[in-house]
Amino acid sequence: MGLLEKALSYKNRMNNEGKTSIMDRIKGPAETSFADDEFQSNGDEPGMENGIVYLKKTDLVEVETDNAGGVMSKNPASDDLAIDEFLSDVDETPPSSTSGNAQKMSREPSAEKTFPGRPEKKDINQPQGGDSAVTRPGRITGITSQGEDTSDYMTLYEIGRDLVRAETKEQLFDIIMFSLMGQLGVTSSSILIPVSNDGEKWKIVESRGVTIDDENLMFDKKDGILGELVKCSDIIDIEDYKNSEGFRDDYLNYISVDARLLVPMIHEENVIGAIVAGNKLVSDEVTGDEINFIRSIADFSAHIYGSIISREEVYRNLEELRMNESFLGEINGIKKSILMQDDVDGLTGILQDEFKKIGLDSYALFLKDAGGDFFDSVVCEKEDFLGFKESPLSIDSSSGLVTRIINSENPLKIDDFRSSDIVNETLTANRISKMNTALIYSYKISRSLKGFIIVFRISELADMNEIDKKITALSETVFASMETLMEIRAKSGRFFDSMDLVLKKIEKEINNARNLGIPLVLAVISIKNLKRYNLLFGYNRTNDLMDDIESIIKARLSDVDFCIRYDRHKFLIVLPGKDRKYAIPFASAIHSEITGKYSSDEIQLLVTNLVSEFPADGDDPYALIDALD
């Protein structure tokens, strides 16, 4: 629709409302002395020569005015309002109302405009009922009228076009700050937005005209002047908090970044950011027109900023889906390779290659042993920086570290690992000195801990997100496959150290006794002539003898005691909480029962019993067993 058509539309609307416009005051040809019959038959108008009309003095008419004696309206504000309404129909951009008595930081209700995402505001300075007006700190109520009319529609239109073209937050912020400094003449402008995941901590991310010295300067959304901005959702003057004791420190923080005005950016009824404007270069006063200009820029910017945030979130989600698809394809390939392995060495090689790719310099995989009492290191990096191949590490299932792993979320990071008691009681000082982290990924079924991976050293270029995702995704397959392959190795007879399990169990009881301050006794019952007994009575009778001796011993054991058979003819009895005075009669009674039951004319069983006590005879399993021999 052209300008003339819009003018006609405006005229008709005014006439329908019983009003007259300036166009109604201009007489048309039908109301003048010209008549159709005065036109020449050739179609030319009277007095026209070569397409030019020459008017006579009598052709000119005077335009009548509504008020006699002058051409100016007694109420110019009403004319301005009518023109304002007309321009609001012509211009497609949202106008800001102007008034000769425009208030700072406050607009008349008739001039209030609603912008996308901005909630309706109630003037908190307006008296309620019979109460006197109360001014909220931060709201400017002074009236000024001087200054250039910065709410010019064309200016807003041009700035709006630039804002719409912004594709990123940085571009948008640059336009906002440039526009404020150029149009208002302020010393600086900055952008304050949330930077924490929960949106509570805000930070100045962009600024012009001022240097932010403290990069760690944060503002709390629920406290201080920023909290007041979020509550009132309207422009705040920092100077109104200058003498407020409760806001003193916060006021100084804003002064340090050259802040004078805080302008909220409101999207979908939420304050999603703030524009920080410095002082004016020419005057300390901010006119109503300038406030309306700032509000218009903030409202439009908030709408664009909200759209950019939504668009970036969509792009980010799409990128995550693409990356997840690629990542899942990679993980599935690794899992297939793991499941194809038929021995521990093959699986170990795959883990070493994959962990090296994600920047793990040193680590160890621990798997629960067959007895369930210890977690043994079964895999480490090829370089073996901490020496686990030469000196494997077994961690007691009742240790403080294992208890912490069971009761913690996965993964567990021990920040102060060098001074941590649970780390120092598990690892030697030499191993701890080579670490730069203590990161633990556990594998649990229900609340039962089956194994875990401890990362001791990470490359400086490693991506922690990639490490977390890869280890977490592979954990179930890795631990299940490793456990299966270890069982196959044991059953195949390639290697099975039964004494290692015995020694670990004894070591666990010694540690408990040490922690509780109680004694512990080892007693051994040995059948010296078992080989001759086998030659006389055969394999089956010999097995029956050993089964019977086992029953005799078990009948005398308490709930905490246990017995192990080793070297074919020896029974090792562990008696936690008992001392030598108890153990000697206990072993002698077993000796007497065995010899009495199996003494005959053909053979007399030679049975010996010996006792060693912790800590008198030794403080580890090897020393106590050596004392028995």
Q: Band of the pLDDT at 378, cuts 50, 70, 90?
A: very high
Instruction: Quote the mean pLDDT of the chain.
Output: 79
Q: Which pair of structure tokens corresponds to residue 34? A: 């010209």
What pLDDT digit, counting tens, does each position of 139-194 carry? Answer: 444 333 344 444 467 888 888 888 888 888 899 999 999 988 888 889 999 999 99
Is the model's pLDDT at 333 over the cut of 70?
A: yes
Q: What is the mean pLDDT of residues 102-128?
A: 39
500-527 per-residue burial string, b: 16 or more CB within 10 A, e: under 16: ebbbbbbbbbbebbeeeeebbbbbbbbb
Q: Cis link prior to 411 (omega < 30° from 0)?
A: yes
What pLDDT digit, counting tens, does each position of 244-265 carry? Answer: 888 988 899 999 999 999 999 9
Is the model's pLDDT at 540 over the cut of 90?
A: no
Q: Which pair of structure tokens corresponds to residue 191? A: 């952008």
Whether the Cβ atoms of residue 607 and residue 526 lie closer than 8 Å to each other: yes
Which residue did the predictor score with more confidence, 504 or 252?
252
pLDDT, residue 455, reads 95
What does the alpha-carbon distance between residue 246 and residue 225 come to, in Å, rounded to a whole number?
Answer: 10
Residue whose C-alpha is closest to residue 546's, from 607, 629, 493: 607
State whether the Cα torsion 329-331-336-337 is positive or negative.
positive
pLDDT, residue 442, reads 93
What does the alpha-carbon distance between residue 89 and residue 3 come to, in Å, rounded to a whole number?
Answer: 11
What pLDDT digit, counting tens, does each position of 270-299 carry? Answer: 999 999 999 888 877 788 888 888 888 899
What does the alpha-carbon distance between residue 344 and residue 486 come to, in Å, rounded to a whole number?
Answer: 7
pLDDT, residue 287, reads 84
- pTM for the full predicted model: 0.43
Which residue did the predictor score with more confidence, 397 or 98?
397
What pLDDT digit, counting tens, does each position of 75-106 carry? Answer: 444 444 444 443 444 444 444 433 333 333 43
What pLDDT digit, counting tens, does each position of 398-447 carry? Answer: 899 999 999 998 899 999 999 999 999 999 999 999 999 999 999 988 77
